[in-house]
Amino acid sequence: MSAALEEFCGSIFWNASYLARPDADLPVCFQQTVLVWVPLGFFWILAPWQLLPMCKSRAKKSSVTKLYIIKQVLATLLMLTAVAELALAFVEDTEQDPLPAVQYTNPSLYIATWLLVLLIHDARRFCLCRDSGILFCFWTLSLLCGILPFQSLLRRALQAPISDVPRFVLFFISYGLQLLLFLVSGFSDIAPETKEITKKVKGPRGISLPHSMVFKGYRKPLEIEDIWELKGKDKTQAIYAVWEKNMKTAVRKAQADLEKRKRKKRRQKADPDHGNNMSKAQSQDILVLEKQPKRKKKGDKGDSGPHKDFPRGWLMKTLCKTFWQNLLLSVAFKLVHDGLVFVSPQLLKLLIAFVSDEESFAWQGYLYAILLFLTALIQSLCLQQYFSLCFQLGIKVRASLIAAIYKKALTMSSATRKESTVGETVNLMSADAQRFMDMANFVHQLWSSPLQIILSIVFLWGELGPSVLAGIAVMVLLIPINGFLVAKAKAIQVRNMKNKDERMKIMSEILNGIKILKLFAWEPSFEKRVNEIRAHELKDLVNFSYLQSISIFVFTCAPFLVSLASFAVYVLVDENNILDAQKAFTAISLFNVLRFPMAMLPLVLSSLVQTNVSTARLERYLGGEDLDSSAIHHNPICPGDAALCWSLAVSSVTLDIAPGSLVAVVGAVGSGKSSLVSAMLGEMENIKGHINIQGSLAYVPQQAWIQNATLKDNILFGSELDEARYQQVIKACALLPDLELLPAGDQTEIGEKGINLSGGQKQRVSLARAVYSNADIYVLDDPLSAVDAHVGKYLFKHVLGPKGLLQKKTRILVTHSISFLPQVDNIVVLVAGAVSEHGSYSTLLANRGAFAQFLNLYGSQEEDASEKITTGTGNTTGLLQLEGLKSSTNSWKKAQEEPPKKLKGQQLIEKEAVETGKVKFSMYLRYLHAVGLWYSFWVAMGYVGQYAAFVGTNLWLSAWTDDAERYLNQTYPVEQRDLRIGVFGALGVSQALFLLFATLLSARGAMRASGVMHQQLLSNILRVPVSFFDTTPTGRIVNRFAKDIFTIDETIPMSFRSWLSCFMAIISTLLMISLATPFFALIIIPLSIFYYFVLRFYVSTSRQLRRLDSVTRSPIYSHFGETVSGLSVIRAYGHQQRFLKQNESTMDINQKSVHSWIVSNRWLAIRLEFVGSLVVFFSALLAVISKGTLEGGIVGLSVSSALNVTQTLNWLVRMSSELETNIVAVERVHEYTKVKNEAPWVTEKRPPRGWPSKGEIQFIDYKVRYRPELELVLQGITCNIASTEKVGVVGRTGAGKSSLTNCLFRLLEAAGGSILIDEVDIATIGLHDLRQNLTIIPQDPVLFTGTLRMNLDPFDQYTDEEVWKALELAHLKTYVQDLPEGLLHLVSEGGENLSVGQRQLVCLARAVLRKAKILILDEATAAVDLETDNLIQTTIRSEFADCTVLTIAHRLHTIMDSNRVMVLQAGRIVEYDSPEELLKKQGVFSVMAKDAGIVNTETTML
């Protein structure tokens, strides 16, 4: 081979003696062949792919830029030099004997290459990104290979006159041009027309792009608009499409396996040999039973009890199949990196040998220094590429999982849906998908860690022989100790998660029911409950921290114990074994390499176990059954031309409904009305029969589902805006007056769950949405229950009834209200889930069936009233004027014409403050104050001590290794040996003890801080006024208690410790290098300045991106939560696609910020590792320069410390930015401890004992507003209510009825005037003194988790007898006695396991138990059927006869027997007298009464 090459060049190819001299050089032939062909080979293998855009692109070329021209000119010049060289060869050839072949081939190769470069530059104009990465790599490689001929030509020129001037000149010209091209290709070349696009799309090799963002982030806090858009292939939709295709095939296979498993089980069951001798028939029955999904009892939390089997094992397959390219690429990068890790210790060994050897040539030392630098550089580039790929994989996996979960939620069958609560599903999205994302970052450690461990051991064996086993044994022994500690810690963590869940459950209930807590003055009881749980939590926390300190202690001891064991054994085994610098420091760097995989492996394994759990959960969820819509047919032919006909097992219902008819469905509570509706929407499990639906559906649920969007968006619900129809709908649904009241009309933003609308308004918006959608069939589930009687009547007339907007449509109306029944076409009466009768009103009355009895009970003189309704429709025009609808339409139109200004109060929900800019230093101080300043000081001192000992250990080791030189060729004294081992050991132990001291102290301090901060937050949140909860979404407050408190508990202490530890480590390393080579101190200064700048730049960008990530992440979950709660509505309207799209765009916004965060992290890491590589380079270089004055030991020490510093530098930045990110939690918690409180609970002035004894209430010119920027709600009310008087309060929605009660309880503070109760001004006494002495039965019955007894009497003030008595009066006694636990019956979250009626009765029992002198009834009868209503009324009449009762009523019937009635309109009292008087006075009240079908007070004793 070499002979052929020698002939080819005409000179010697290789001669080792060239290198064995001080001015070493490479033979010319080697330079002309190998060094030329390596870069060209690389280029020709990869370059042709760069031409592809030319062949296949149909796009037009982008325009020419200056950069492009410069590149092309330089490449042309290069080609000319090559042509010149070839010409030269031919010219010389004619003059003398033939030249060696190489003089022809090389220029020809170069000509071809430069041509190809020209072509590639041109081809890249078809692409968006015109820079070619392959070219960049080629320039780099070519320049590196060119350095050697460059220096040898120079040296020859300096020694003797130049022999071959033309070639000499051409070489330098071509090298200079290549250098220029290299520099030019460092700038990104963007065509003007693609600038617009590339602004949005992230360039791949973002040579300048991450810069731009990092600089921008430094100058001003980044906003979501500043972040690059994702590339098409990174968008959720694209990723999910591939994933879904793979998922479908995998799930199909898995389901087939599942069937096999089931069959096998069946065979085992049916097999008589198995000892269960059943007949075939029996076993078949068992199977049928098995197939039906087992319903979970409320009690067991899901994991107990046999679960259904589900398709298994498909998730991982799908992931691998979808993301295989990414996985392969990252494996390649990781392999290169892992190989290079072991090159450094070998180079270190050579370097130490070089320093110790007098004879060696200087160039070798420089070569080693440069090689160390290059290894470090390439290693860091590979590692960063690998990390980047891993993180990309992580976010893609997360995106596809979240998209899959979301899609599944939309198509899930109701049985599957019942198996998991909304919370659990959101958890799948947040926790489990996140877990996969974290796992993706480390998944390669599974093969890489074992590989690194094996390689390290092999190399170490080479250094120290079998004594390595001692060190390894120590490591292996530490693993079970650590394992034990981890297991203990895990047990504590599990306990703590339970406590945390418990605490969060109570917190979210407190926040949801805060109004009730305040009305009943129950805050202290709940505060106590939370604090008890918190105390347990903190106790566990501190134990957990202690365990952590011990494991940190063990982990710190590890490297030092390992080296101690190995070295001691090595020295003790054999007299001749002397520890020299080469062995010791090579071994130490190898042990350092070993530490990482040893630490990672257990972590990865435990993470794998967790991911396994998540896999099972996701597979169960995603493999669950979909909604089976087979029961719903859309056949056009149906008996009797009905638009809807069904024969369905609610129990068994057979009905058909003619198109365009209005059908009412009536029945007692629990007779199956809502189930019938669900069945029509296809939400029920169908056992037999089918439904036939012709046309589109619209659905109004019983509990209105309102999205967090503007009012207009809620009504349009994704349809196009048709202004005329929109106005018509708003008018028909009686929303105009409400729009006047809302601060920004229909542009007002509505809070989550419709928090800033009253019940009636929500229901009307829900109805408007249905009407606007213009469907063919309307399913209305009791939409009139939540609105006032006259509004209900208005809605029936204008929307639902025979003359309403929907008269041509098919309407199915579930209703409680009797007054409308005469006007419907058909009535269906349900009893216990079956149709007992159906027909028109008159037929049913004539039948004398269940319906007729029902009517006779509640509708005495109903016929009489119904006549009035039919004849008296003329009056409603009067009603309209009275309500100001006529006049308001004009003003509404005016409001529409003005340009939309953001009005005060239009936005209810304040945007969540993203803290921008630098975290204030005061936050760190605040935290340290909470920890305690002495604690903080001693913790810091502990760390200083630890690192002092660390430096000592290393210096001692370097002195020890220098003994090898000192005692050369003589026996090593035994006592010297023992002294060396002993002191080495003592220093190491002291290092670990200092650390233990510091970590234990910090654990105590951190617990103190957690306790203090949570206590401040909790007590403040319970003392803020109710208005705060209206403008702040519960989720945001819960977040403070969950996420931020968790951060303060667990993350911040860890971050603080890691930061201190990194900081000290870096200082000590730099100190050691400076001790070895004092000149290094000069180099530290520029390096640290560069480092500081990179850090400042990066931290500000990263911090902001992290904040954007968390801010853009919450919409994903809240949108999901909203979707799940509104599923039946979304499905009924068939809007699944729209919601999927919306989910995808929300996801993309989040993906985009995470993506940018990853890229900016890599930007930083590469620059930082560059600093690290420079530290290595300079420490080696200085060691080479000062050779002769240095011992091998100190060089080994300095370089091996430097090799370690790269990781630590990286960590310091990571920790700084993490600390800044986490300390934000202190800021956020602090923000909520500063919210303004309501009045004090108890003041100096206490009311007299037994107050109020009479129960007289006086309003004196009382005014009130909800928030300072809003209008007055009550505009100066003056009235007296005498002792034991019964007063009814009526008025249209928004007239200020509920505000009246809020004022009595001082949930709203007066804007003027005062209220006196028994001569005491309520504004002067403490809130609790006031609230404990009034009683309210609130509008929506709120119950808390806990026993029934706790719900009635949280402070245990009453005896059991009294409680039973109250239950008896509330008609709940028999029900509660039948419960197995009686009074200790557990109420589930929000009282879900009681019906609405029962919850209302529990509230009644509360009131009866309190028995205050003043009772307020707030619209308590809206959601209750007539029977329950009757019970409540009777109880109140008998029990509260000697109390003052204020009733805020919807149904006029309930207040016709009051002593007086107060009529409110727009915050003023318009009429206030006895009902008889008011009926005579043709005023507001009499009109309302007429609408409700009341003529005189006698007719109303319902």
Provide Rg for the chain, Cα atoms. Answer: 41
**pLDDT of residue 1353 exceeding 70:** yes
Smallest CA-to-CA distance from 1393 within 1338, 1346, 1430 is with: 1346
Handedness of CA 986, 989, 995, 996 (dihedral sign): negative
Stretch 1434-1459: mean pLDDT, rounded?
82
**pLDDT of residue 887 exceeding 50:** no
User: Which tokens is 837 given?
Assistant: 């009768």
DSSP 1460: E
Lowest mean pLDDT among 507-521, 1085-1099, 1390-1404: 1390-1404
Stretch 668-679: mean pLDDT, rounded?
78
Cα of 1206 vs its chain's centroid, Å: 32
Residue 350 DSSP SS3: helix
Per-residue model confidence as pLDDT tens digits over 29-46? 888 888 899 999 999 988
Q: Give the pLDDT band (50/70/90) at residue 873.
A: very low
Residue 237 DSSP SS3: helix
DSSP 910: P
Stretch 1147-1164: mean pLDDT, rounded?
87
Question: Rounded to the nearest 5°, which phi and psi values hold at 836?
Answer: -85, -35
Residue type, 1473: D
**pLDDT of residue 1468 exceeding 50:** yes
Alpha helix ranges (H) inside 188-235:
192-200, 209-219
Residue 201: partners with Cβ closer than 8 Å, 6 or more residues away: 128, 228, 229, 230, 231
Strands 644-648, 1346-1347: pairing kind: unpaired
Count Cβ atoms within 10 A of the Cβ of residue 299 and give its class: 0-12 exposed, 13-18 middle, 19 or more buried.
exposed
CA distance 626 to 631: 13
- What is the average pLDDT score of the chain? 81
Stretch 881-896: mean pLDDT, rounded?
31
**pLDDT of residue 1500 exceeding 50:** no
DSSP 160: S
Lowest mean pLDDT among 538-542, 640-644, 672-676: 640-644
Tell me what pLDDT residue 1148 has.
Answer: 92
Tell me what pLDDT residue 82 has.
Answer: 94
Kindly report the three-state secondary structure assignment for every residue of 560-578: HHHHHHHHHHHHHHCCCCC
Tell me what pLDDT residue 307 has.
Answer: 57
Q: Which helix (H) or strand (E) holds 1473?
A: strand 1468-1473
Kindly report the three-state secondary structure assignment for every residue of 261-313: HHHHHHHHHHCHHHCCCCCHHHHHHHHHHHHCCCCCCCCCCCCCCCCCCCCCC
Tell me what pLDDT residue 452 has.
Answer: 92
User: Which tokens is 632 given?
Assistant: 């719903």
A 10 A CB-CB count for 1361 gives 8
Residue with tokens 């306990």: 495
Q: Give the pLDDT band (50/70/90) at residue 644.
A: low
Cβ contact 841:855 at 8 Å: no
Smallest CA-to-CA distance from 1045 within 1239, 827, 788, 1225 is with: 1225
Which conformational region is residue 910 in: left (phi greater than 0), alpha (psi within -120 to 50 degrees), or beta? beta
CA distance 371 to 1173: 11
Query: pLDDT exceeding 90 applies to what percent of the chain?
Result: 14
Count Cβ atoms within 10 A of the Cβ of residue 808 and give its class: 0-12 exposed, 13-18 middle, 19 or more buried.
exposed
Tell me what pLDDT residue 1141 has.
Answer: 92
Tell me what pLDDT residue 1122 has.
Answer: 85
Q: At what angle do helices 1192-1233 and 581-622 cross, to 10 degrees?
A: 30
What are the C-alpha distances in Å from 615 to residues 316, 429, 1354?
8, 12, 42
Residue type, 96: Q
Smallest CA-to-CA distance from 930 within 1014, 995, 1023 is with: 1014
Question: Rounded to the nearest 5°, which phi and psi values hold at 700?
Answer: -115, 110
Q: What is the DSSP string of 436-468?
A: HHHHHHHTTHHHHHHHHHHHHHHHHHHHHGGGH
Lowest mean pLDDT among 34-48, 594-608, 855-869: 855-869
Lowest mean pLDDT among 192-196, 409-413, 1228-1232: 192-196
Tell me what pLDDT residue 77 has.
Answer: 94
Cβ contact 61:131 at 8 Å: no
Tell me what pLDDT residue 648 has.
Answer: 52
Tell me what pLDDT residue 1420 has.
Answer: 55
CA distance 622 to 616: 10
DSSP 1305: T
Residue type, 649: A
Which conformational region is residue 917 in: left (phi greater than 0), alpha (psi within -120 to 50 degrees), or beta? left
Greatest mean pLDDT among 404-413, 653-662, 1140-1149: 1140-1149
Q: Give the pLDDT band (50/70/90) at residue 868.
A: very low
A 10 A CB-CB count for 658 gives 16
> In the chain, what is the straight-line distance between the N-terminal and C-terminal CA atoms, in Å?
114
User: Which tokens is 1370 given?
Assistant: 């509330």
Residue type, 31: Q
Residue 704 DSSP SS3: coil
**pLDDT of residue 968 exceeding 80:** no
DSSP 329: H
Lowest mean pLDDT among 315-324, 805-814, 872-881, 978-987: 872-881
Q: Which helix (H) or strand (E) holds 319?
A: helix 315-322
User: Which tokens is 60 given?
Assistant: 């037009």
Q: Give the pLDDT band (50/70/90) at residue 292.
A: very low
Stretch 835-853: mean pLDDT, rounded?
84
Q: Give the pLDDT band (50/70/90) at residue 1425.
A: low
Residue, of 844 and 877, whose pLDDT is higher: 844
User: Which tokens is 1091 given?
Assistant: 């480092």
Tell me what pLDDT residue 1045 has.
Answer: 87
Q: At what angle do helices 1136-1185 and 343-356 cross, to 10 degrees?
A: 10
Tell me what pLDDT residue 911 has.
Answer: 58
**pLDDT of residue 304 exceeding 70:** no
Handedness of CA 424, 430, 434, 436 (dihedral sign): positive
**pLDDT of residue 298 exceeding 50:** no
Stretch 366-392: mean pLDDT, rounded?
91
CA distance 77 to 74: 5
Strands 1334-1337, 1414-1418: pairing kind: parallel
CA distance 869 to 852: 20
Strands 826-831, 1272-1281: pairing kind: unpaired
Lowest mean pLDDT among 121-135, 424-438, 858-872, 1231-1245: 858-872
Cβ contact 604:449 at 8 Å: yes
Count Cβ atoms within 10 A of the Cβ of residue 1221 and give its class: 0-12 exposed, 13-18 middle, 19 or more buried.
buried
Tell me what pLDDT residue 1422 has.
Answer: 52
Cβ contact 1344:509 at 8 Å: yes
Q: What is the DSSP string of 590-655?
A: HHHHHHHHHHHHHHHHHHHHHHHHHHHHHHHHHTSPBP-GGGEE--S--GGG-SEEEEETTTBEEE
Smallest CA-to-CA distance from 874 within 1489, 1487, 1496 is with: 1487
Cβ contact 1213:1098 at 8 Å: yes
Query: pLDDT exceeding 70 applies to what percent of the chain?
Result: 89
Tell me what pLDDT residue 249 has.
Answer: 92
DSSP 203: P
Residue 1230: partners with Cβ closer than 8 Å, 6 or more residues away: 923, 926
Could you check whether the bond before residue 1252 is cis, i.e. omega within 30 degrees of 0? yes
**pLDDT of residue 1367 exceeding 50:** yes
Residue 952 DSSP SS3: helix
CA distance 430 to 982: 53
Q: What's the length of the chain?
A: 1502
